[in-house]
Amino acid sequence: MSKLVGSIDQGTSSSRFLVFDVNGNVVTSHQIEYSNTFPQPGWVQKDPSDLLKSVLDSIEGCCSELFKLGYSVKDIASVGITNQRETTVAWDSETGEPLTDAIIWSDTRTREVVQRLVAKDKDNKIPAICGLPITTYFSASKMIWMLENVESVKEAKEKGTLRFGTVDSWLLYKLTGKHITDATNASRTMLMDIHTLKWSPEACEFFGIDGSSLPEIRSSSEVYGNILHGSLTGVPIAGDLGDQQAATVGQLCFSPGEAKNTYGTGCFMLFNTGTSPIFSKNGLLTTVCYQLGPNEKPVYALEGSIAVAGSAIQWLRDKLGIISSAPEINVLAESVADNGGVYFVTAFSGLFAPYWRDDARGCIVGLTQYANRGHIARATLESVCFQTKAILDAMNADSGANLTVLRVDGGMTNSDIAMQIQADLLGIDVLRPEMKETTAFGAAIAAGLAVGFWKDKNDILSQTKSTQFSPSISEKERESLIAGWDRAVKKSLESA
């Protein structure tokens, strides 16, 4: 009887491998951090071979610790993958090697491509097919840019050896030899029909993407193949979820009306809408939340995305030198009673939902001689919380029901002051689970269910222990803060 299930968590700034027991506890883990490259303003990219190596190294590091604890490979029932989503990889099927750097999800080099596509789609047919607006965020525009600007990609297309994929399919290809993705990742490309969970011929034709270069779409929980090399040789990979969908599963948001927000490099809120997709009238995305088995109905979600969350803290540390380590932002933010009239719109990559303005630019407004480092630190945390408030308002409007509790996870949730600010601005309780590895746990759940490690969703131990943050300011104070934020957002649009 297998005792463990593994999870590959491939993120924007690190790769990790974690091993969970049947009660959802982390037995051990290993993390490899890395940096992306920024060759031009708005460009964010990474060598796919480096992404792969970081994953392989994290697996080997974790297995080394696991074996020291007395476990063996036979104790691992299966492995799941969760990944940064819209990041796009191109490789050659003959050599198995990447053709160019991966374009990271937050990259905005495709603005001109997107403008061209929006003008072409006069009747808004594409959003009706895929549930997504045509923006720089999603994979199809990145594929077009590669086809138009990278000679090796053009040549591979002519030879019929071009393979496109999101990071999960790149990892699955290198680990199992199969070109596969799951419905959650495919739903982030603008190429999948949100109703049928198949590549849309109409969308592929519109974007000029050959369907033969795309991976096979499978459910989020089934055996895709066995790992071919390394310490986990022979172990099946049986779960695949985009990182935000994995966090939703890991937070056990299995009922319609439940929502979670993940605060990582970016910030992502998903609202479970059940087995029928809801198309937003307020700037949100319609996405596949999960499909836990090939014979199971897909579950959908409304999603709102914030491009810059934890990366704004890194910017304060690495580019401005205001802090020397990420946790220091909390000390600074707590040193002031309020933001002192300072607002920081962190639109480094434009503004995502519900604004969808890729021409927005980051700006700090309201500076006076009174302002100090503490006010800027607090304004940085508040920026994420204000944008979360805008997304939640849109979700409430689309769903017709007001959310009463928000479940949260991700690195920024370690900050008590950030979560208190969030509760104050939302006017509802914020719950932070004690077990914080919800993204990796979601992929582990999918992998475990596929091989019978857990019998069903009810067999998974609920994460009942959590810290609750409740609103502590008046409605008048809340409205005043939000009005100041709205004025700051207008300034960010004027600075484009």
- Interval 294-324: pLDDT, tens: 999 999 999 988 888 888 999 999 999 999 9
Q: Give the residue among 30, 73, 87 at the shortest CA–CA distance from 54.
A: 30
pLDDT number for residue 462: 61
Instruction: Determine the pLDDT at residue 240.
Output: 98
Q: Enter the tokens of residue 183.
A: 């419905």
The least confident of 16-30, 77-91, 314-328, 457-471 is 457-471
pLDDT tens per residue, range 264-274: 888 889 999 89
Tell me the pLDDT tens digit for each residue of 443-458.
Answer: 999 999 999 999 888 8
pLDDT per residue as tens digits for the range 217-258: 999 999 999 999 999 999 999 999 999 999 999 988 888 888
* 61-67: average pLDDT: 96
pLDDT in tens, 93-142: 999 999 999 999 989 999 999 999 999 999 999 999 999 999 998 999 99
Q: Are 241 and 248 in contact (CB under 8 A)?
A: no
What values do phi and psi take at 260, rounded to 5?
Answer: -135, 155
Separation of CA 126 from chain center: 22
Domain 4-252 coded CATH 3.30.420.40: yes
pLDDT at 308: 87
Distance separating alpha carbons of residues 165 and 181, to the nearest angstrom: 8
- Percent residues over pLDDT 70 in the chain: 99
Evaluate if residue 464 carries a pLDDT over 90: no
- In the chain, the percentage of residues whose pLDDT exceeds 90 is 80
Q: Is the peptide bond before 133 cis (omega within 30 degrees of 0)?
A: no
Q: pLDDT of 154-164, one tens digit each?
A: 999 999 999 99
pLDDT greater than 80 at residue 401? no
Joined together, the tokens standing for residue 205 give 């034709």
The structure's pTM equals: 0.85
Q: What pLDDT, on the 0 to 100 scale, is given for residue 461?
A: 64
Give the best-scoring range by mean pLDDT among 267-276, 407-416, 430-439, 443-452: 443-452
Structure tokens at 338: 């309020």
* Spatial contact of 446 and 241, defined as CB atoms under 8 Å apart: yes
pLDDT digits (tens, 9 = 90+) for 198-214: 999 999 999 999 999 99
- Classified as helix, coil or strand, 461 is coil
Residue 1 pLDDT level (bands cut at 50, 70, 90)? low
Check pLDDT > 70 for residue 387: yes
Hey, where are the domains in the chain? Answer: 4-252
| pLDDT at residue 339 tops 90 | yes
179-183, 281-285, 358-362, 462-466: which is most confident: 179-183
Least confident of 78-82, 238-242, 405-409, 471-475: 405-409
Rg of the chain taking only CA atoms, in angstroms: 22
User: Contact, 5 vs 23, CB < 8 A?
Assistant: no
| CA–CA dist 189, 194 (Å, integer) | 11
Token digits of residue 308: 């810059």
Res 184 pLDDT > 60? yes
> Which H or E element spans position 45?
strand 45-46
Q: Cβ(12)–Cβ(264) under 8 Å?
A: yes
Residue 170 above 70 pLDDT? yes
